[in-house]
A and B are shown apart, each in its own frame.
Chain A
Amino acid sequence: MNQQTPYMPELATIVETFDETPDIKTFRVVYQDPARMAAFRFEPGQVGQISVFGTGESTFVINSPPTRMDYLQFTVMRVGELTHRLHTLKAGDPIGLRAPLGNHFPYQDMKGKDIVFVGGGVGMAPLRTLLLFMLDNRKDYGKITLIYGGRTPAHLCYKQELKEWAERGDMQVELTVDNGDQNWKGRVGVVPAVLTELGTSPENAVAVTCGPPIMIRFTVQALEKLGFKDEQIVTTLERRMKCGVGVCGRCNIGDKFVCVDGPVFTQAQLRQMPQEF
């Protein structure tokens, strides 16, 4: 990102889009300047601001891992003005991009540990970047478990990858939905319940969670019951953001800004902050 003109996006092109769920779409983008694309570096968990000129800008996590740099992938749920417009774009269309922004998952501190990913809905996106990064560096990490839930089977993102991950043999995938359909043979129920049922051990483990606020709240409670300490729980927060560089003011929690001091926080860090989520 340009330090002198922090609000000026760089031009990028969408190279591929596909539907994940009825209201979630994935976009693969590359910078228009090949030299910029080749030099682009980021850490898992960092975010980017996508511009659709004429509508505005919004923050999304880069959900492809830094180990796979053919394109930058973003997964976008259609909820507001910007995301509605973004969903109408197709391969070849230009967008603006300001990236990378924010901090990242403390993956260095997670080396040698068992990792439990707990995700809900589009909250799988930031988990995906870290999960793929870890799978690409598989020997650095212990047991990897993914617990992922959606409203219905159709509302799970990355369906093909979920299948591949389950078949890899070197990680455990547990899927659950709030409401199944006639073809669904998996679990029905909320994510925290699956976590409790699996009885995941906090021994030498780190839990990484992202999803709707209500899911995060109950997931943290379930993790605590299992014996996870605050330092062992990592989450990534969402806030309404504009500038993305800690200036415009709106994403503050106390004297921290989610856009620069976050979006990734441990539960221990969150406990030190004024409780305003």
Chain B
Amino acid sequence: MVVRFLPADAVADVTAAWARDYHVLAPVREGSAVVYRTWARDMHPFLGRPPTASAKQALLPQTENLFNYTYRKDKDDLTRTEVFVSEALPPEPTLILGPRPCDARGVRLLDRVFLDRGVTDAQYKARRAATYFVTVACDEPENTCFCHWTGGGPRDENGSDVMLHPVKGGFAVRALTEAGEKIAASIPEAPAEVQKELEEKLANPPAMPAAPDLSTAPESFLKIFGDMDFWMDESARCLSCGVCTYLCPACSCFNITDENSGLKGRRLRTWDTCMSALYTLEGSGHNPRPNRSHRLRNRVGHKFCYHPREVEKQGALEFSCTGCGRCIKSCPVSVDIRRVVLDMIERGAAAAPEVKP
């Protein structure tokens, strides 16, 4: 495999060149956050730490047009209307720069929802086929990182088209897919010392504390489902702000709303959050998840029980979590999903086999 070298001061120029062929989402600093923005001239991509936002917006934009509609009034009888619907425009090829291996690997969790669940979400499928990941490998996992708990790793290559490895003075670049070859083609081959540095790096993966055994998580969750004392304790601090779901690379729940403008409008898909009481509030006033405890339980349950049960027919244990740690890092009240899951497993082990609410 050809190893290429991208000097740190050439990142902006190379990104600008990509922007001629792709809609480029690049990470930029805004205040203390690192967010993805559509590439524009004079923008400086920041690859120094994992972006605050996940890469899911490349595949599932925060707001997306599902289709357009137009009303037409009958000129002879203004009480009569007709309506016409038209499909949204197809997505343009997108290159996302700066996601981490956990983000790229997490895309398959979105695939489960949008491609594998029975219906094919055409818009997601089109974006998926036209989106390329230029990922930055992690040398120094942060203390909120736990990708290895969920099967990933700081240099996991799944889902990436190009991998950038930080080396002295810039990045060692490896193309991992055919599309990646094309993206990396303009970057010159790496000098011998960079190749050597990369080889040494790859031979010495960053150390991470041993991962706990989560194999009993799904079963533990069901055992203590009705243990509301437990869920009240774990959720006592939660503010229902939803930041955990918005930043999560695997959270994919969405809302559908209409945006009207005179006789025209569009139907939009927007990110939604299961941490909000409105998420499940019915017109009648009935709410199956009225309290934070119910909602946190559902979020943890979805990631560590419902999702693994849904995909278990395919063999491996898979959680709907990439271990990126964004929900931990950005939670204003320090709810730590690792703690909740470990507490749950401990409580489940202590509980009698059948706990029915």
A residues bordering B, Cβ < 8 Å? 3-9, 11, 51, 53-58, 77, 79-80, 83, 92-94, 96, 212-213, 238-240, 242-243, 245-250, 252-255, 260, 274-277
Contacts and interface: CB of A to CB of B under 8 A. Distances in A.
A249 B254 contact: yes
A276 B288 contact: yes
Contacts of B306: 252, 254-255
B252 A249 contact: yes
Contacts of B66: 7-8
A61 to B, nearest CB: 15
B253 interface: yes
A238 B298 CA distance: 18
Contact of B118 (A238, A246, A248): A246
A54 B283 contact: no
B67 A248 contact: no
B75 interface: no
Could you say which of B280, B283, B289 has the most chain A C-beta atoms within 10 Å of its C-beta?
B283
A53 B255 contact: no
B105 interface: no
B107 to A, nearest CB: 16
B33 interface: no
B270 to A, nearest CB: 10
B216 interface: no
A238 B265 contact: no
B221 to A, nearest CB: 9
B117 A275 contact: no
10 contacts: A8-B66, A77-B283, A96-B85, A212-B284, A238-B282, A239-B282, A247-B117, A248-B255, A249-B254, A276-B289
A7 B267 CA distance: 9
A98 to B, nearest CB: 11
Contact of A53 (B256, B265, B274): B265
A162 B74 CA distance: 39
Interface in B141-155: none
Given A11-B83, A94-B82, A240 B301 contact: no
Interface in B307-322: 307, 309-310
Contacts of B269: 7
Contacts of A58: 283
Contacts of B357: 275
A250 B279 contact: yes
A128 B69 CA distance: 33
Given A79-B283, A246-B117, A274-B225, A254 B85 contact: no
B301 A56 contact: no
Interface string B276-307: 00011111101011000010001001100111
Given A53-B265, A94-B81, A94-B83, A248 B258 contact: no
B230 interface: no
A235 to B, nearest CB: 14
Interface stretch (B16-24, B45-53, B119-127): B119-127
> In the complex, which range does the number of interface residues on chain B fall in?
35 or more
A275 B226 contact: yes
Interface of B: 66-67, 69, 71, 80-83, 85, 87, 113-114, 117-122, 222, 225-226, 252-258, 260, 265, 267, 269, 272, 274, 279-284, 286, 288-289, 294, 298, 301-302, 305-307, 309-310, 356-357
A245 B113 CA distance: 11
6 shortest interchain CB distances as A-B pairs: A249-B253, A80-B283, A79-B283, A255-B306, A54-B260, A53-B69
Contacts of B305: 254-255
B121 A247 contact: yes
Contact of A9 (B85, B113, B284, B302): B85
Contacts of B280: 239-240, 250
B171 to A, nearest CB: 37
A241 to B, nearest CB: 10
B225 A4 contact: no
Contact of A55 (B67, B83, B258): B258
A17 B289 CA distance: 34
B244 to A, nearest CB: 15
Given A83-B283, A96-B85, A250-B274, A4 B258 contact: no
A248 B272 contact: yes
B59 to A, nearest CB: 13
Given A250-B280, A260-B118, A8 B67 contact: yes
Contacts of A7: 66-67, 256, 267, 269
B119 A247 contact: yes
Given A7-B67, A212-B284, A276-B288, A255 B274 contact: no
A5 B87 contact: yes
Given A274-B225, A275-B356, A213 B286 contact: yes
B258 A56 contact: yes
Contacts of B282: 238-240
B195 to A, nearest CB: 45
B204 to A, nearest CB: 40
Contacts of B281: 240
Nearest to A242: B256
Given A245-B118, A247-B114, A92 B288 contact: no
B222 A245 contact: no
Contacts of B310: 255
A274 B114 CA distance: 24
Contacts of A213: 286
Nearest to A79: B283
